[in-house]
Structure 1
Amino acid sequence: MDLDRKLAILADAAKYDASCASSGTDRRDSVGGAGIGSTEGMGICHSYAPDGRCISLLKILLTNHCQYDCLYCVNRSSSNVARARFSVEEVVRLTLDFYRRNVIEGLFLSSGIVKSPDHTMEQVVRVAQTLREVHDFRGYIHLKTIPDASDELLRRAGRYADRLSINVEMPTEDGLRQLAPEKDTTAIHRSMGRLRLHIDEAREARASTRASGVASAGASTEAPIRVIPGAAARPARPPRFAPAGQSTQMIVGADGSDDRSILRSSAALYGRFRMRRVYYSAFSPIPDAARALPLKAPPLVREHRLYQADWLMRFYGFDHEEIVDDGTGLLRLDVDPKHAWALAHPERFPVDLNQAPRELLLRVPGLGVGSVDRLIAARRLRRVRAEDLRHMKLPVRRVLPFVIVDGHRPGAIPPTGLPAKDAMGARLATGAPTQLGLFG
């Protein structure tokens, strides 16, 4: 099979994995020096870092052959799909060729399981090692790791990759047991724990070395001491280990897990393993699907609402249990989770923008982390007025119904005989199009 045909098959096979954002890595750039690649350039958009940089990634599988038969996976062993396999050298050549043509700035590499987890993982690691050590590639590398692979292979992977990820697949252990009986939640969590340990150890070692260097530099105000030939050199800085951390992915809608269960699982992963990101992938019906799978995909807006709820847990101080607090266990699809929480808790509003603490301001619909920080800085100088919100380019229509500010006080909530959240929702209706940003 020629390389173009392999690329068509294995790039298409990788499209179901969403966990390939490139945030959090070290900044490396070959401009003005040796080496190939960069994590800083611009190119075809595949993913965005939190600071807005677009990082284009070559996203492929090493192979879509797989010995597992996970019912939700298009590449499962019983699936009737075209199969292909790259060699290590072919992946390296493709990555360098696409980079030199300014198509990509990094590589996302995953694989089906062939022969054994260790055999597959060793091939994946060899790709990254060859790029780094033979070709001095400075671009972004994200490796999908195999849960049952040896700890030594995980260590090697972290040495060459910017980010490592292990997909937890299903939100609950029961769901994984039902749809992927060959996979083991305990083994997945064990590998995640190992990665967290290695990441923490590397960061502590590098921080200790940095602190020692600062202490040595500050020990004297004399002129710098000349290096004497034969004298002991300063200890080398310890090697980094996956500086962008680890991530994982859950499939949404393949089993019966509700949004409350999904967010509970995500909160546990963030807490136990210091996960950098949990990605949510709406289940997509696959050819020759098993009867245990749903016939229809969940609405994509459900995936979007889960990302918004995840943001609330990570940056806005929300507990996962309070985000979905009604009897359905599902997030509302008509409004974002932060707005829905405000509608369900009218007793917490209106909030005084000139007096409220930061944690309460973060719960006001329309106020993001940056805008809250700007408000707090502004009110240190003088009281904030309603017209100031427009000058700060805040979404005034969303904010004003929930706040008190000089020159504005919202009307009474709710009218007699109308449920609180319905009354506030009716008062906020403006006919504007649905907002699918984070919180608008």
Structure 2
Amino acid sequence: MSLRKDKIFLITISVMLLLLASSTLLFPSMTNSIITGLASIIGLPVTLNITHVSFDTGNREQLDPVIVNGNNITIRIPVTYYDNITMNITTNKPTGFECGYDWYINESGNIKSVIVNGTNISWEADKSVKNTYLYFEAPPPLIISEVTYTGDSYYEKTITISSCCALINVSVNVSVSEDYEDYTLYLIENNTLINKTGEYHLQVSNGRATFYSFNLSNKTFRIQATPNATLVERVIRVGGGGGGGRGGIPMLNYTPTQPFFVEPNYISIITSAQGPLKANITIYNLRGEEKTFNISFTTNFIYDMRSSITLPHKDFAEIPIYMDTTGLEPGDYTDYVYVRSGDTEERVTVNLELLEAEEEAEEKTPVQEQPKQIIIGEEKEQVTREMGVKKKSAMLTLLLVISSLLLLAGVVFLYLRKKTKIIRY
């Protein structure tokens, strides 16, 4: 009994295809090494990526409430393993959560430590578990800048919140002045004020303003308020006041002899930033004639302002204050701006509280799973697409195996139908 050379060739090719497809399913890392190794030997730029694990960041869960300037947040992300072997896995940190720390894996109650090396994380994975969770700590969002303008005709606090992770249902609790009313919350985007008072549930009580239910990475908010009746009565009795550049002369009664006023009369800046800062004051001319105003200032952190300005009757102008915190030690600093016209002078107090740069919060010890509180689903569509690609790859491999088996079966079938040949010598 013998086989023709073409039959031997077909059988050999079929067996090789079958072995290659089987090894791809059973030993993906070995296949990766073989293919890339052979390619490098013959000088071909070939790269083969085998998926061992995937993170479903679209279904990540926040296990702690997210409070600005609050405590760390424990986050867990669903993990899917591929294959059934135990192996060491090294992969990138989940996108958008590179600032996380204290990483660990919980494989059905078996907590495993995760080694961090830059943006990579590594651990020994029991891939027979299939579905598990990756846990880590994220630092809380922080107020990195807080600027407050206090005047007789308006109140304004602007805060900038920064977070290294995308978080949801964030809440804020900040101090505000109690001398005002009709508080309004604005989100600042592209130099545009967007009213979020109702949507973010702004509430002001006992000198505290709270709002919540917003998502963030980095956002800037502004709280504005108007003077209450008590403040208006006080301004009317003593004269003075101002409007901080709100457009026109503020609608308060001023004494007829008052030549001008400046708003705000107090500026508070809280920041940890090293570098240039800018604030503004507004000068209102109440005289019946054009008047020149001379401006001077102290120089603890203010380094430049214009020295004078001439304003027509009932006109106003916004004057920038240029400051620089470079080289200053953390602490409280105060400067003054003086605006003089004739024998009348008004003073604006500018207070700077320079904070230390925030350090990473202390890490938590890995603990057993906590009850789910918040679930994020913004990235499901992207994850679904990625899973679809993986399924297509698996289907192609399966199709290759089936094709090889059919080809091998066909060759064997044709051979068995062929009569036996007797070779005589």
For this structure pair, what is the TM-score category when the shorter chain's length is used for normalisation? under 0.3
Larger radius of gyration: 2
Higher RCO, Cα 8 Å, sep 6+: 2
Task: Please identify which structure carries the higher strand content.
Answer: 2
The two structures have a TM-score, normalised by structure 1, of 0.22
Give the TM-score, by structure 2 length: 0.23
